[in-house]
Amino acid sequence: MWTWKVFHVPGLEQIAKDYEAKTGVKVKITSFNPDEVYRTKITTASQSGDLPDVLSYWSGGQWELAAADQLVDLSSAVDADWQKSFLPGTYDKVSVMPQDVFDSCQKDPKCTYKNIKVGQSFSVPYLGGQAFFVYANKEMLKEAGLDPNKAPTTGEEWLEMMKTVKAKTQKAGLVTGVQNPDVLHYWLFNPLLITSCGTETYDAIYNGNDSFSNPCSMRVLKWINDLAVNELWTPDVLQTNIDPADVAFAQGKAAFDLGGTYTLGFLISQGMKAENILSFAVPPLQGSKLDKLQVTASPLIDAMVTKNSRHQMEALDFIRFMTTPDAMTTFAKITGDFPAVKVPADPDKVGSVMVGLLNAFADTGPFTDSKAEQLEAPNKVIGIGLQQFITKESTPEKLAAELDAANKAAWDERGGPKQP
C-alpha cells in the first residue's frame, strides 16, 4: 500500500500487522512525499503498470485514475453493511459518482472522466475531517483580559477579540497558512459565505446564477478585509504556509489559529497543552442566514484497489479490514488523525483530543447539502484576491467584480451557468 502521509505510516503499519495476524497476508506500507513526488510516482507507475495493490489518493481525485482503467470497480463490493461504517457525508457523497458531478463533467470539454457512470464507486474513504476550526491560545486571551473559556458566537465578536489581543498584548490576532492561496478561500471565505448567504444562494453564486457582489457575499469580503485593515495578521503571514503557521501559533505569536481537525494533534505535538487551547468552528457574521456553522466530516483520503494488482481479492479484503471501526480506532489513536469511519468517542480508545473532535461533528451541514461547483479560474482569482487584501492591493468591491467576471467567463466556456 502506498501513501504520501509519512505520519500515517505507523498507524497503517499497525493495521497491516493486525491483518497479518488475522489472515497471514502481509501488507507492506510505503510512503512517498511531498505531494508532488507522490503524484509523479503514481503517474509513472500507472504508465509502467507498477501501481501497488492498494493506493491512497485524495478523496474526489479517484475519478481520474478510474477513468484511465487503473482501479477496480468497487460498486458492488461495498455492500450496505460496509457503507454503514462510514461517517455520513463521506462515502455516500464523494466516493460514489454523484449525478451533479457526472452532469458537470459531461458539459466540461476538459473533463477527463466522462466514462464514469453515476453510482459507480472505485474507492472507500479512510481519513476524514474538516477545516473551519479556529484554535485560541487561552493564556493569551487571559493576558488580554478576555474570558479564555468563551468562544465568540459571531464573526464580529471574534474580530473584536483579535483587536483586544492586539491592543493589550501587541501580539497578532490571527495566523494561518496564507501562503497557500486555497487556505483563505476554503477555510475562511467559504464557511463565512455559506453561513452568510445560506446554501442555496452560496450554490447560486458559485454556479454562476448569482453574484459575488450579493450583499451577503460583500459582508464576508469586508470582514476578511477588516483583518488586514486592522493589521491583525502576523506580520509575515503571506510567507507562512500551513505547518509554519501552526508552529507560530504554538510559539505564542498569534492568539488564534485557523486550521482543521488535523491541526489539533499537530499543536499538541509542538508542545501546546490541550487545556490551553480553546477550539470553535468559524463563527457566522451577524445577520447571517445560518446562525451556526454545522461542521460535518468530509472525506480527505480514499483507499483503492488497482487493476494491475495480482492480489485484488486480498487487497479488497485488506481495505475492508482497514476501514472497520476497530482498525480505524487503532489508526486514530496512533496518528491522532480523524478517520472517515465511525469510531467510539471513548478517550481510552481514541484519546481525549479525538473525542472532542468527534463530538463537534454533526451528521448533516450546509456543505453536505451544497451542490456548488468551484471552477479553476475564479478559484485562482479568489485565492490571490484575498491575499491582496493583506498587501492592500485590492478591495472587497474590486475583488467581487473580478470574481464575477472570472466566474462568468468560466461558466460561459461550459455553455452557461450550472442549473440548480
Q: Does residue 164 bind another protein (CB under 8 A)?
A: no
DSSP state of 158: H
Q: Does residue 118 bind another protein (CB under 8 A)?
A: no
Q: Does residue 388 bind another protein (CB under 8 A)?
A: yes
- Grid cell in block for residue 38: 507522490
- CB-side exposure of 263: number of CA atoms within 13 Å? 30
Q: Does residue 115 bind another protein (CB under 8 A)?
A: yes
Q: Does residue 113 bind another protein (CB under 8 A)?
A: yes
**Binding segment for another protein among 94-102, 128-136, 340-348, 406-414 (CB under 8 A)?**
406-414
Q: Does residue 69 bind another protein (CB under 8 A)?
A: yes
Binding mask 223-252 for another protein (x = CB under 8 A): ------------xxxxx-x-----------
CB-count burial class (<10 Å; 0-12, 13-18, 19+) for 167 = exposed
Q: Does residue 40 bind another protein (CB under 8 A)?
A: yes
For another protein, how many residues bind (rule: CB under 8 A)? 46
Binding residue (CB under 8 A) for another protein from 171, 349, 371, 380: 380
Q: Does residue 254 bind another protein (CB under 8 A)?
A: no
The CA distance from 418 to 420, in Å, is 6
Q: Does residue 36 bind another protein (CB under 8 A)?
A: yes
Q: Does residue 208 bind another protein (CB under 8 A)?
A: no
Contact 137, 255 (CB under 8 A): yes
The CA distance from 229 to 336, in Å, is 37
Q: Is the peptide bond before 34 cis (omega within 30 degrees of 0)?
A: yes
Pairing of strands 298-305, 124-129: antiparallel
The CA distance from 326 to 339, in Å, is 11
Q: Does residue 33 bind another protein (CB under 8 A)?
A: no
- CB-side exposure of 401: number of CA atoms within 13 Å? 4
Which residues form the interface with another protein (CB under 8 A)?
Answer: 35-36, 39-40, 42-43, 46-47, 58, 61, 64-65, 67-70, 110-115, 179-180, 235-239, 241, 376-378, 380-381, 384, 387-388, 390-391, 393, 405-406, 409-410, 413
